[in-house]
Amino acid sequence: MAGVDIILDTLFNNPNLPLDPVLGFFDDFNRADGPIGVTSNEARAWTKQIIAAGDGSAVVSSNQAAATGTSGAFAYTVDAGTGNGTLSVTVTTVATDGNTRLLFRCQDYDNTLMLTMLTATGRMQLFRKVAGVSTTLADIAMTTSQINGKLLEVVMSGSSVSVKLDAVTVIAPVTVTELQTNTKHGFFFNATQSKTARFDNFRFAV
């Protein structure tokens, strides 16, 4: 009996075959100084939300994410395609004149989860912000020297959210039922209070 050839439907013989979406993103900021643009992998756009009007914006400076300008507050996020995964970033410098903030599961600045590093009081705080109303989910002692140059990770799985510093859990899992379907993640800058913050190797991994 003659053999039967089986032809599999692949992108090589069917260019219309739908692609599975690539989830997550990575940006090492290893590019020329200037506007922050798109991530180094996947070329996903950093999208700006203006929170307070001014001339500030996020830029690449010496292969790190930084802020420029003298006024205004703004958030920059990338759409990872999912709200479940691990956001990791090296905080090369915590802002010396204000606070440093990471945003995750972000719809906009009024609807987001937020990790804030407060320089003046030496605290790290995890917030939920829904319809502009903030709720503190965790508040721990954490000095600038403990964070600078370290790998910070926010682990999100369903309603569970936890925080690690250099692979050590510093905020145990808390339950957050809101915002789970939001897929954007990034950071906040205030051009007058936190522009000295610096980020490197910003990643969202699934």
Residue-level pLDDT at 14: 58
Would you say 69 and 56 are in contact if contact means Cβ atoms under 8 Å apart?
Answer: yes
4 pLDDT exceeds 90? no
Would you say 51 and 109 are in contact if contact means Cβ atoms under 8 Å apart?
Answer: yes
Would you say 165 and 73 are in contact if contact means Cβ atoms under 8 Å apart?
Answer: no
Residue 85 and residue 154: Cα distance in Å, rounded? 8
What residues contact residue 17 under an 8 Å CB cut-off, 6+ apart? Answer: 9, 10, 11
173 pLDDT exceeds 50? yes
- Mark 117-128 as b/e (b = at least 16 C-beta within 10 Å): bbbeeeebbbbb
- The residues that bridge with 40 in the sheet, in sequence order, are none
pTM: 0.88
Q: How many CB atoms are located within 10 Å of the residue 104 CB?
A: 25
Residue 89 and residue 109: Cα distance in Å, rounded? 20
Would you say 183 and 156 are in contact if contact means Cβ atoms under 8 Å apart?
Answer: no
Residue-level pLDDT at 53: 92
- The residues that bridge with 156 in the sheet, in sequence order, are 85, 161
Would you say 176 and 115 are in contact if contact means Cβ atoms under 8 Å apart?
Answer: no
Beta-sheet pairing, 184-190 with 99-108 = antiparallel
- The residues that bridge with 107 in the sheet, in sequence order, are none
Residue 86 and residue 187: Cα distance in Å, rounded? 15
- Tell me the pLDDT band of 162, cut-offs 50, 70 and 90: very high
Tens of pLDDT, residue by residue over 29-49, are: 999 999 999 999 999 999 999
Q: Which residue has the higher pLDDT, 193 or 37?
A: 37
Tens of pLDDT, residue by residue over 55-90, are: 999 999 999 999 998 899 999 999 999 999 999 999
User: What would the mean pLDDT of 110-137 be, rounded to a whole number?
Assistant: 95
